[in-house]
Amino acid sequence: MRISTAYSFDSSIDNLQKRQTEMSQSQMQLTSGKKVNVASDDPIAAARAERALASISREDANQRSLDASRNVMQLSESAIGDAVSLLQTARESMIAAGNGSYSDKERQALALKLKDIRAQMLTIANRSDGSNGFVFGGQGSATPPFLDTTTGVQFVGQGGQVQAAAGETLNLTVDGDQTWLKAKTGNGVYKTNPVSTNTGAGWITAGSVTSPSALPYPADPSITPPQYAVNFTVNAGMTTYSVTKDGGGTTLTDVPYVSGKAIVIDGMSFAVSGQPADTDSFTIDQATNDLSVFDALDSAINSLTTSNLGSGQVMQAVNQGLSNLDSILSNVSAARSAVGESLNRMDSIEGRITASKLAAETERSNAEDLDMVSAISKFQNQQTGYEAALKSYAMVQKLSLFQYING
C-alpha cells in the first residue's frame, strides 16, 4: 500500500489543527476556571448548572425579601418599645392624679403631659419604614395611616399586613389598626362603668374573674350579651344595693353596702368604694375589642382637665384610666411579642435560605467548575503532543520531490 505525499501533508495538518483546537479549548477552560463555557461543551452539565443558577437566583430574591421584612420588623419592634415606655409614663401620671391632695391645676399639668404623650404616640403610629411606606400601614398606604380628626384618631389605611413574595411568610408591614385601636375594654372579659347621672362620691373597680366556668362572657355570638346593673338606695342614712340582670330579675336584693367590699356574682368580682348617692348606678357589660390608645388618652385628658370634680369622680377617672392603659399595654405588648417571634423565625428562615443556596452552589460547581490540577496536567500533555506533531509535520515536509532532488 502506497501512502501519497499529499495524504501525508493533509494528515499532518489535520492532526495539527485538531491538537491546536484541543489546546485552545483547554486554555479557555483554564482561563475561565470552568469546564463548561458553552452548552455544546457538555449539554447535560450545562442544564444542571442552569437549574442550579435559577435556584440561586430564587434564594437571592428570598434573601432580599427577608432583609426587607427584617428591617420593618426591627423598626416596628423599636416603635412599639417606644410606645410601651410612653404608656408606662402615662400610667405613672394617672396614678399621680389620684393623689387626694392634688388641686385642679396640678391635675391639669398632668393632663398636659398626657397630651404630649398622645402626640408622640401618633408620631410612632405613623412611623415611616424608610421606603415610602409606613410600618403600621396594614395592607399599604401612600399617606400616614392614622389621621387625627375632630372625633379622634382614625385609621385610614387597610387592616391586615403586606407580605413579601417569597416561599416563607414574611411581613412587610404591621397591622396598625389591630395594634393601636383594638385593645380590650375593661379587664378584658367585662367592663364596669358608672351611670352618667350619678351624683354621689362612689366609684367602681375594673374587677376580676373568680370562676371562669360561671362567667356569662363571652356570650354566644347569636345572643345579646347580658348586662348587669348595681343600683344603690339610701334610706334613713343606710346604704344598700341590688344587682339586676338585663333590667329584669334581681339577683341580689337590698344588700348592706360596705365601701370597698367585693361584690361577687356569676363568676365576677368587683367593688364599689366611696359613698354612692341614692339612685346611683353602675353597669357591667361584656368587654369589646375596640379600645383605642388615643381614645383612652383623650378620655383621661378630658377627666383631668375638668374642674371641680368630686373625690369619687376623680377616683373613677383614675381607675378607669388605669384600667384602659393596662389593657392597651397588654395589647401593645402582645403585638411586640408577635414582632419578636417574627424576628426569631427569620433567623431560621435565613438558615434555610443559606443551606438551599449552598446546595445549589455546590450543584453548579459540580456541573461546570474545572479541576485545575487535572486540567493543567491535561494541558501540558496536549502541549507536548502539539510540539511532537509540529516536528512530525516538519519531517513530512522533507518528503517532497524537490527536497529529494536537492538532497
For residue 220, give the DSSP letter: P
Percentage of the chain beyond pLDDT 70 is: 77
**Which pLDDT belongs to residue 212?**
92
Kindly list the distances between the CA atom of residue 370 and the CA atoms of 29, 48, 355, in Å, as whole numbers in the listed order: 7, 15, 23
d(CA 385, CA 390): 9
Is the predicted pLDDT of residue 137 greater than 90, yes or no? no
What strand order describes the sheet that includes 281-286?
190-194, 281-286, 228-235, 238-245, 250-256
Confidence of residue 293 (pLDDT cuts 50, 70, 90): very high
Inform me whether the pLDDT recorded for 263 exceeds 90. Answer: yes
Helical residues (DSSP H) of 98-161, grouped into ranges: 104-125
**Which pLDDT belongs to residue 271?**
95
pLDDT at 361: 84
pLDDT tops 90 at residue 307: no
> How confident is the model over 158-181, as pLDDT tens digits?
777 766 666 677 888 888 999 999
The more confidently predicted of residues 250 and 400 is: 250
Q: Looking at the predicted structure, is the pLDDT value of residue 392 above 90?
A: no
Mean pLDDT, the chain, integer: 84
List the beta bridge partners of residue 245. 228
Range picked from 167-171, 302-306, 375-379 for highest mean pLDDT: 302-306
The 10s digit of each residue's pLDDT in 68-127 is 888 989 999 999 999 999 999 999 999 999 888 888 999 999 999 999 999 999 999 999
CA 307 → CA 85, 104, 114, 193, distances in Å? 29, 6, 17, 21
Rounded Cα–Cα distance for residues 229 and 242 (Å) = 8
Instruction: Determine how β-strand 208-209 pairs with β-strand 268-275.
Output: antiparallel
Between residues 23 and 145, the one the model is more confident about: 145
Hey, what's the cell of 279? 339612685
> For the domain bounded by 42-185+289-369, which CATH number is listed?
1.20.1330.10
How far is residue 322's CA from residue 87's CA, in Å, rounded to a whole number? 10
**With 50 as the cut, is the pLDDT of residue 1 above it?**
no
DSSP 101: T
CA 216 to chain centre: 34
The string of pLDDT tens digits covering residues 17-64 is: 676 676 666 667 666 667 666 666 667 777 787 888 888 888 888 888
Contacts of 364 (CB under 8 A, 6+ apart): 48, 49, 52, 53, 56
Q: Are 98 and 107 in contact, with CB atoms under 8 Å apart?
A: no
Q: What's the rounded Cα separation, in Å, for the pair 207 and 217?
A: 14
Reply yes or no on whether the pLDDT at 401 is more than 50: yes
Contacts 24+ apart (CB under 8 A), 28-33: 29/370, 29/375, 30/370, 30/372, 30/375, 30/376, 30/379, 32/370, 33/369, 33/370, 33/372
* Distance of alpha carbon 239 from alpha carbon 140, whole angstroms: 56
Sign of CA dihedral 338, 341, 343, 349: negative
Query: Cell 384600667 appears where?
Result: 323
- Where along the chain do its domains lie? 42-185+289-369, 191-287
Q: Does residue 274 have a pLDDT over 80? A: yes
